[in-house]
Amino acid sequence: MRFAPTAAYFLLCVWLLGGAANAADNSTALQWQALTRIDVEEAYNLLKDNHPGAVPEVGDKVFTDMLAAAHAKALDRAAKVEDIEGHNATLAAFANSTGDGHIWSHDVFQRQELTWAGIIAAKRGPDWVVGVDDPKITGTELSGARIVRCDGRSADELAHEVMPFHASTSNEAFLVLRAGWLLVDDGNPFVHRPANCVFDKAGKRLDLTLHWTKIARDKLIGHIWKAPVGEAGFGVRASGNGYWIAIQGLSAKAQPVLDAVKAEERKMHEAPYVVLDLRGNGGGDDAYGRRLAEELYGAGYVKAVLGPSGLAGGCREVFRASPENIAAFAEQAKRFRKEGDMAGAELYTDAVRRMKAASAAGHPLTGPLTCNATRPAATHMEPSLMRGKMFVLTDAACFSSCINVVGFFHKLGAIQIGEDTGSDTHYQEVREIVLPSGLSTFSTLQAIAPDAPRKVGPYAPRFIYAGDIADTAALEKWVPGLATKN
């Protein structure tokens, strides 16, 4: 059953006119609750019917237990919803509770006016601190101050209440990325807005009343909110007596960088150090990372350490052979053909063939969950071409295929520096749908990599950077000192 579009449209109009904010009309609240419940059930069924982790043969009790608990909690919240903010918060928490950053809920309509206390929080190590502040609102300069407690609760206790609506709390990097929401009010009815907080500013305790102030969303997020990650950009340059390779995303933009590395590879092989800057890298295609490794270390050495690339040396993806996944892959194959990506079209067409065959045979998956592929015995171990140290610079943005690339370089002997990466699972192939209300989206995963551990990452740096990870100039001054350490 799907909620009637006219009813969803009616509720949206009520919200825009301010009726939902007042929650004065009980019948409107009941409609919001019904609408939210329908969206929750759709999201639950999306995961139950299409995610490989929900298949009993996979034996992922962590996932199935989580899904059951998240579903029950979301239904409990749905019964208390009175407006669009409650609806959006319920779906967001449901997605985040899965612990997988590839499962999300995105709001189609967002509140354009937020309320803040003049503070954008940041997560630095174990501490919650003031990242950005407005002294005109706070009454004093607070930048860099540690948030000790709010309304008698520790900063961690406040975060335990607030952050599940904005991020998966299963990984430190996810908290770092969304930490700014700690003291920003987006209308979520399920969190308590504190009236008072205690701060520690250079050893001095400050007990302050919070002055909650309205602000345009675009102004706060677009102009005041400072991103907690860096921007590597794309390119290759000399840095000190070493080299700096910047790859902010594993997309076609990375190819010119690989070409530039190839042109300078002999110099890089002899350099005292080379830095691969992955700051701001949210993933893409890890094949770019593998090819970069081959240019730097030599294809023979990389093959010996990582094994052959592609299907020839590993396990094939195993797909959940559900009707919706089959339809989605068939549609994507058509899009690839239309765009001229024939390799992508063939991969997805092959996946459709495999899923249809599995479904016809009554199997929920397209193959076994154990990988019998064996790595050919190396008759000759080619040496690494790198004479100096290889550093991989990461921040909290590193996710998905970026995590895989960090894993490649770890195995090849590179030294990770900077901040912790995010974490991922062995589930793959994300797909997003619009929920029946039309107010939110929800995603699922459709495949599993049988040769990968259930959880991939997070990877922690050997050398932690305690300063501003976005300050490239400071990082370039910091790295040469690391090159002399054992």
Q: Are 96 and 169 in contact (CB under 8 A)?
A: yes
The average pLDDT across 266-279 equals 97
Query: What is the number of residues in the chain?
Result: 486
pLDDT at 382 over 70: yes
pLDDT at 224 over 70: yes
Q: What percent of the chain has pLDDT over 90?
A: 85
Taking Cα atoms as reference points, which of 12, 475, 482 lies closest to residue 244?
A: 475
Would you call the peptide bond into 458 cis, given omega within 30 degrees of 0 as the criterion? yes
Q: In the CATH scheme, what architecture does the domain 234-313+375-430+451-482 have? A: Alpha-Beta Complex (3.90)
SS3 content of the chain, % helix, strand, coil (to 5): 45, 20, 35
Structure-model confidence comparison of residues 39 and 110, the more confident one: 39
314: number of Cβ within 10 Å = 18
pLDDT value for 472: 97
What pLDDT digit, counting tens, does each position of 105-141 carry? 999 998 899 999 999 999 988 999 999 999 999 999 9
pLDDT at 83 over 80: yes
DSSP state of 377: P
The torsion of the CA quartet 152, 155, 160, 161, rounded to 10 degrees, works out to: 50
Topology match between the domains 113-224 and 234-313+375-430+451-482: no
Question: Sorting pLDDT into bands at 50, 70 and 90, what band is 21?
Answer: very low
341: number of Cβ within 10 Å = 14
pLDDT value for 312: 37
Number of H helices, E strands in the chain: 16, 20
Question: Sorting pLDDT into bands at 50, 70 and 90, what band is 372?
Answer: low
What pLDDT digit, counting tens, does each position of 239-265 carry? 999 999 999 999 999 999 999 999 999
pLDDT at 23 over 50: no
What pLDDT digit, counting tens, does each position of 141-185 carry? 999 999 999 999 999 999 999 999 999 988 899 999 999 999 999
* Domains of the chain by residue range: 5-96, 113-224, 234-313+375-430+451-482, 325-360
Residues 6+ apart with CB under 8 A from 323: 359
Q: What is the mean pLDDT of the chain?
A: 92
Strands (E) in 110-195, as ranges, are: 113-116, 119-124, 127-133, 146-150, 153-154, 184-185
Q: What DSSP letter does each residue of 411-454 carry, written as one string? A: HTT-EEEES----EESEEEEEEEE-TTSSBEEEEEEEE-TTS-S
Question: Side by side, which strands form the sheet with 318-319?
Answer: 318-319, 441-448, 427-434
pTM of the model: 0.89
Q: In the CATH scheme, what architecture does the domain 113-224 have? A: Roll (2.30)
pLDDT at 215 over 50: yes
pLDDT value for 1: 35
Question: Sorting pLDDT into bands at 50, 70 and 90, what band is 4?
Answer: very low
